[in-house]
Structure 1
Amino acid sequence: MTTSPGAQRRTAPRRPRTALVVGGGVAGLTAARDLARAGLRVTLVEASDHFGGAVGAHEVAGLVLDSGAESFATRSDAVPDLLEELGLSDRVVTPHPAGSWLQLPEGAVPAPKSGVLGIPADPTAPELRKPLGRAGVARARMDRALPARVGAGERSIGGLVRARMGQRVLDRLVTPFVSGVYSTHPDELDVDAVAPGLRARLRELGSLGAAAGALRTASPAGANVAGLDGGMNLLSERLVRDAERLGVKLVTRYDVIALDRDPRRPGWMVIQRQPVNGDKTAVARGELLVMATDGPTTVRLLGTQVSDVQNFTPRSGPRIALATLVLDCPALDSAPRGTGLLVSDDVREVRAKALTHATAKWKWVAREAGEHRHVVRLSYGRATPRGSGPSPEVTLEDKHLISLALGDASTLLGVPIEPEQLVGADVVRWHTALPRTDAGHSARVTGFRRALKDVPDAAAVGAWLSGTGLAAVVADTRHQVRTLLKHHGFDVTPN
Structure 2
Amino acid sequence: MHEADTRTHDGTHGDGAPGAPGTDPRRRVLVIGGGIAGLAAAHRLLAAGLRVTLLEAGQRLGGKLHAGELAGLPVDLGAESVLARRPEALDLARAVGLGPALQPPATTTAHLWTRGALRPMPTGHVMGVPGDTAPLAASGVLSAEGLARIAAEADLPPADIGEDAAVGEYVAARLGREVVDRLVEPLLGGVYAGDAYRISLRAAVPQLYEAARRHGSLGDAVRDLQRRAAAQPAQGPVFSGIEGGIGRLPAAVADACRAAGAEISTGAEVRELRRTAAGWRAVTAAGAVDADAVVLAVPAGPAARLLQDAAPAAAAELRAVEYASMALVTMAFRRSELPAAITAGTASGFLVPPVDGKTVKASTFSSSKWAWAGTDPDLFLLRTSVGRHGDEADLAREDSELVGVSLRDLGEAVGLTARPVASTVTRWGGGLPQYPVGHLDRVARIRAAVGALPGLAVCGALYDGVGIPACIASAGKAADAVAAALATPGSEH
Task: Name the TM-score, length of structure 1 as normaliser.
Answer: 0.86
Match of 1:121 among 127, 131, 154: 131
CA distance in 2, matches of 1:129, 1:148: 29
Q: How does 1:467-482 map to 2 (within 5 A)?
A: 467-482=465-480
For residue 41 of structure 1, what is the amino acid of its counterpart? R
Is 1:226 the counterpart of 2:240? The answer is: yes
Contact 1:129 1:137 in 2 (8 A): no
Structure 1 residues 442 and 37, CA gap change in structure 2 (3 angstroms):
same
Partner of residue 203, structure 2? 193
CA distance in 2, matches of 1:98, 1:189: 25
CA distance in 2, matches of 1:14, 1:97: 48
Is 1:239 the counterpart of 2:253? The answer is: yes
Displacement of 1:128 after TM fit?
5.4
**Bigger mean CA deviation after superposition, 152-161 or 41-50:** 152-161
Partner of residue 342, structure 1? 351
Displacement of 1:145 after TM fit?
4.6
Partner of residue 62, structure 1? 72
Partner of residue 409, structure 1? 410
Partner of residue 291, structure 2? 286
Match of 2:282 among 267, 270, 282: 270
Match of 2:267 among 244, 249, 253: 253
For residue 415 of structure 1, what is the amino acid of its counterpart? G
Displacement of 1:98 after TM fit?
4.5
Displacement of 1:447 after TM fit?
1.0
Give deviations 1:129-167, integer Å, cap 9, x for gaps.
511122211211233453332555652111111111111
CA distance in 2, matches of 1:124, 1:418: 37
Contact 2:58 2:266 in 1 (8 A): yes
Contact 1:75 1:471 in 2 (8 A): no
CA distance in 1, matches of 2:175, 2:161: 10
User: SS of the residue aligned with 2:294?
Assistant: strand
Give deviations 1:329-388, integer Å, cap 9, x for gaps.
33345536811111111223x311111110111111001xx125211111010342xxxx
**Bigger mean CA deviation after superposition, 124-133 or 475-484:** 124-133
Give deviations 1:194-245, integer Å, cap 9, x for gaps.
1123222112234323434555665999x92111111111211110110110
Match of 1:488 among 486, 489, 493: 486
For residue 241 of structure 2, what is the amino acid of its counterpart? G
Q: Could you say what the CA RMSD is over the residues aligned between the two structures, in angstroms?
A: 2.5
Structure 1 residues 60 and 67, CA gap change in structure 2 (3 angstroms):
same
Structure 1 residues 98 and 56, CA gap change in structure 2 (3 angstroms):
closer
Give deviations 1:418-444, integer Å, cap 9, x for gaps.
33xx11111111123211212221111
Contact 2:70 2:332 in 1 (8 A): yes
Is 1:110 the counterpart of 2:134? The answer is: no
Displacement of 1:123 after TM fit?
3.0
CA distance in 2, matches of 1:103, 1:131: 9
Displacement of 1:271 after TM fit?
1.4
Contact 2:23 2:50 in 1 (8 A): no
User: SS of the residue aligned with 1:326?
Assistant: strand
Structure 1 residues 169 and 183, CA gap change in structure 2 (3 angstroms):
same
CA distance in 2, matches of 1:73, 1:32: 22
For residue 268 of structure 1, what is the amino acid of its counterpart? W
CA distance in 2, matches of 1:144, 1:72: 36
For residue 119 of structure 1, what is the amino acid of its counterpart? V
Displacement of 1:469 after TM fit?
0.3
Displacement of 1:83 after TM fit?
1.7
CA distance in 2, matches of 1:467, 1:128: 33
Contact 1:49 1:253 in 2 (8 A): yes
CA distance in 2, matches of 1:304, 1:52: 28
Task: Name the TM-score, length of structure 2 as normaliser.
Answer: 0.87
For residue 394 of structure 1, what is the amino acid of its counterpart? L
Task: Give me the identity figure in percent.
Answer: 29
Contact 2:164 2:202 in 1 (8 A): no
For residue 271 of structure 1, what is the amino acid of its counterpart? V
Contact 1:55 1:67 in 2 (8 A): yes
Match of 2:60 among 19, 44, 50: 50
Partner of residue 317, structure 1? 323
Partner of residue 387, structure 1? none
Partner of residue 357, structure 1? 365
For residue 352 of structure 1, what is the amino acid of its counterpart? V
Structure 1 residues 199 and 475, CA gap change in structure 2 (3 angstroms):
same
CA distance in 1, matches of 2:154, 2:251: 48
Partner of residue 395, structure 2? 394
For residue 479 of structure 1, what is the amino acid of its counterpart? K
User: SS of the residue aligned with 1:432?
Assistant: strand
For residue 323 of structure 1, what is the amino acid of its counterpart? V
Displacement of 1:179 after TM fit?
2.5
Partner of residue 327, structure 1? 333
CA distance in 2, matches of 1:90, 1:210: 41
Is 1:449 the counterpart of 2:444? The answer is: no
Structure 1 residues 74 and 96, CA gap change in structure 2 (3 angstroms):
same
For residue 364 of structure 1, what is the amino acid of its counterpart? W
Structure 1 residues 334 and 396, CA gap change in structure 2 (3 angstroms):
closer
Contact 1:151 1:164 in 2 (8 A): no
**Alignment coverage as a number of residue pairs:** 458
Give deviations 1:56-107, integer Å, cap 9, x for gaps.
1111111121111110012321122212211212111111335111111322
**Bigger mean CA deviation after superposition, 228-237 or 125-134:** 125-134
CA distance in 1, matches of 2:224, 2:239: 18
Contact 1:180 1:343 in 2 (8 A): no
Contact 1:116 1:213 in 2 (8 A): no
CA distance in 2, matches of 1:131, 1:151: 27
Partner of residue 168, structure 1? 178
CA distance in 2, matches of 1:145, 1:100: 33
Structure 1 residues 193 and 296, CA gap change in structure 2 (3 angstroms):
farther
Contact 2:457 2:478 in 1 (8 A): yes
Contact 1:124 1:137 in 2 (8 A): no
CA distance in 2, matches of 1:14, 1:363: 46
